[in-house]
Structure 1
């Protein structure tokens, strides 16, 4: 490695990454310019954070409604705890499932612990896909609900970096 970012540059980089990569041919170079560094150091810092387990991957947020996917539903299921990892892996790899994750139940009001997001152009298309998904995986009798979105909210990634003033005061 040729050098490290200083603490302020590293914090600035974390905050910039939380806002997403710049739409540029060389996004890491653009980030480096914004924090007064060079592209190589930015890439080294990101690599180091990944090796330390700070994050697993970079992702992107698609504006699915703008692409014509207006029938968006969350399939919520009550999967036995001993099976939730295996069922989640299968469903997460299934065609048509955009997102699959486990969350704790909130009994007695909310018995569901596995969530699958499905986007489609038409509501009926999504319902058919869900029926097929449940049947193909032997889950038709598992307690579940299909919850359709009624409005879109601003989507963004997680925000974890402390405000820049905390570093200056600390």
Structure 2
């Protein structure tokens, strides 16, 4: 693990990316498992947050269940990439914003409490930049639970059970938003959230357990920054397949070692025909291409038209928006 030689830190960042204890003193449970003190665990996590190795200890939510999201892209002129990325990143709900190797060079994810919020975000970006925005909504997820096994090769996810959306209650939304922002690094983080939300600690714990059990919270734990830990080669590989073919090919691709995300998205007819998306996170471009070469030997992917869009720069990476807030508009010439 690059830059992390201490075995306690390695275990903390590797073993607790999911399955975080939903109890009154969760960091004490981590401390017991690691053989250190509770204050030590909290101090280590705060250090890793300050140094950029983790973004937060918190939640990711299953996409398009209790909120909405879409992947989008613009083709920014080279001399305007920085200013256009700034405009995109300023929009509430844009939680990922990357420059990639392609004519469509800025790729971002727009999230919000509903599709109307996402549509409004895309419309503002069109108006503020004067650029066409590709809107590529999710059709089917095959693996969207991004985590990094820091002790070996990442990827190769097993299918998850369907999300039980019936477990969601409208008043869960502020709690989910707080979880996606991150837990306070305090001995009793759920009690702190309860005070902020006008709830009791018991109520918060009960609702978090219910949301985790239902799959609405798809992952609760340490959210690492993969680039800071050495996984610097990030490629979004897009495959030109029809919907029926993806039914079999999607789960197969998601299960391949080295594939960290996999999903089907709607195309834009005549502009962007790719439907199947996969992510490869590797320590080098050579390693990433080795994963792609191996996938291309599978009968289902042999001779399939595809493109690998490597990441050049990360402008923004935060948790998703599940509760609305006011937009920030910044027009550029």
The structure carrying a bigger strand percent of its residues is 2
> Quick check: 1:68 aligned with 2:234?
no
User: CA 1:39 to 1:86, structure 2 compared with 1: closer, same or farther past 3 Å?
Assistant: farther
Computed over aligned residues only, the root mean square deviation of the Cα atoms, in angstroms, reads 2.7
**Take 1:57 and 1:149, find their aligned partners in 2: how far apart are those partners?**
25
2:261 to 70, 84, 99: 99
Partner in structure 1 of residue 181 of structure 2: 19
SS class of match (2:296): helix
**Take 1:63 and 1:122, find their aligned partners in 2: how far apart are those partners?**
16
Partner in structure 2 of residue 131 of structure 1: 293
Give 1:129 shift: 1.0
**Take 1:14 and 1:125, find their aligned partners in 2: how far apart are those partners?**
36
Contact 1:74 1:148 in 2 (8 A): yes
Normalising by structure 1, report the TM-score. Answer: 0.77
2:274 to 98, 112, 119: 112
> Quick check: 1:57 aligned with 2:218?
yes
> Quick check: 1:86 aligned with 2:248?
yes
Divergent runs of 4+, >6 A: none
Relative contact order (C-alpha < 8 Å, sep 6+): which is higher? 2
Contact 1:61 1:155 in 2 (8 A): no
Normalising by structure 2, report the TM-score. Answer: 0.42
Partner in structure 1 of residue 319 of structure 2: 157
SS class of match (1:150): strand
Q: Deviations over 1:104-138 (max 9, x none)?
A: 11121211001111111111111111010121353
Structure 2, gaps ≥5 residues long: 1-169, 327-333
Give 1:148 shift: 0.4
Structure 1, gaps ≥5 residues long: 1-6, 165-170
SS class of match (1:115): strand
Task: Report the number of matched residues.
Answer: 156
**Take 2:187 and 2:306, find their aligned partners in 1: how far apart are those partners?**
44
User: CA 1:11 to 1:81, structure 2 compared with 1: closer, same or farther past 3 Å?
Assistant: closer
**Take 1:73 and 1:83, find their aligned partners in 2: how far apart are those partners?**
22
**Take 1:93 and 1:100, find their aligned partners in 2: how far apart are those partners?**
9
**Take 1:26 and 1:135, find their aligned partners in 2: how far apart are those partners?**
50
Q: Deviations over 1:63-97 (max 9, x none)?
A: 11101111110110012211213211111121111
